[in-house]
A and B are shown apart, each in its own frame.
Chain A
């Protein structure tokens, strides 16, 4: 092999190695940080079983918000049309968190209870995330979703 070819081969090999490392790291990082979104009925039918942490999306059941008297612990129930899931959270809830509001909580299951580490409600009171709407529609095809939660139109 002459020197030019040798140099080119080195360059090609280096580029290949760099690409492999880059792709490997990206795939690794993606796998570590992918969070799936499930609704309560999907969780109850066992779809979320294989994931340690996931996101729970749905509506806050009216009258289910309960605060502890001496700490920041708060419990509430997230529902979709056919399922309900008790959620426990320790911290301050977002401004738009209230009854019948659509929320997405990140966390993990602990027995039959969802321990949330983060709770998101949206900037805009009529806004419902598209993915949540889709997930809820998928979770109970043919059934109607609460009108208040389903509206997703410009103000």
Chain B
């Protein structure tokens, strides 16, 4: 029986010729990631158990992004603990304010992950790197500690769902609309424990930022990982950037999938996920004018804080003003994206429209800082989760959308189709 792309990467890293869905394996890791929230818990586990060495100081990344620049004394204390550990063990990829970015924007950009690598991260959106043809998945802090000690992790080999992407997207359709559409179809546990494998001729229309966005939200369908085949778009992004040796895996012709779906990009419409689950999707055509008035717009995060996202937002904001009463916060994902956006003149457009531009941080996505909602407030956001209380008060609401829809809604003051401005 043939193997899926994900299974092939796992087999190679477990030193096995073949693996089957459901099999429990130990596999060698190419990268172990943690952030300022999860690393301290992993460090406590590491130290409490008497570990005295890391497996490879070049294969661990600690990215201070969730609450940084440190939002309060407790957060500063956690970052200090992590910094001290990183100094002690000479962790090469410890990145703090000035170097840091949102981890899942930063690791691909720095070339720390790439085709064929096996990565675990103590952050659920670690599945992002599947966009580059890597097997990458979120784990907890104890797994991170075990990975730092041994360079290995245990996996239950997943079965897979295949998504055949066909057609050419129209208008403002982006990766975010693709993944929100899929989650709306299969539900927040539609891919539970499984891989989401993307294929098809329509992939040629999805740039690397679209793919990173789609793979990023695989977890919102419960998936273990999301993965794209390696093609010229991947190679163009990774060549000269990826620090490892790229290995291109392809799914076997006779690989078996639990289910197959076809997604026709040409028929997709801009899609919004209503509170309080990413599966509660509606297209903009199903949302009435003035139906959902918003108080805040957030454009950023590991889902949509990349240069294509900022360009899409700027394209909508150019020559327009944000509606009175709407606060718009734009958060470039990394220092490099921040600089590029500035050089391209996007900041002029944002500020003239009435938005603010933040330093890179996860910030408001998880209700950390930099844009917390009060009771009764509503936000349209390019982030990935709209759970109860996610961006602040338990009685606030988050609506998930693409950068173009978020920007258009900030201008209108209510959720709207960019075409209608």
- Same complex origin of A and B: no
Residues of A in contact with B (beta carbons under 8 Å apart): none
Residues of B in contact with A (beta carbons under 8 Å apart): none
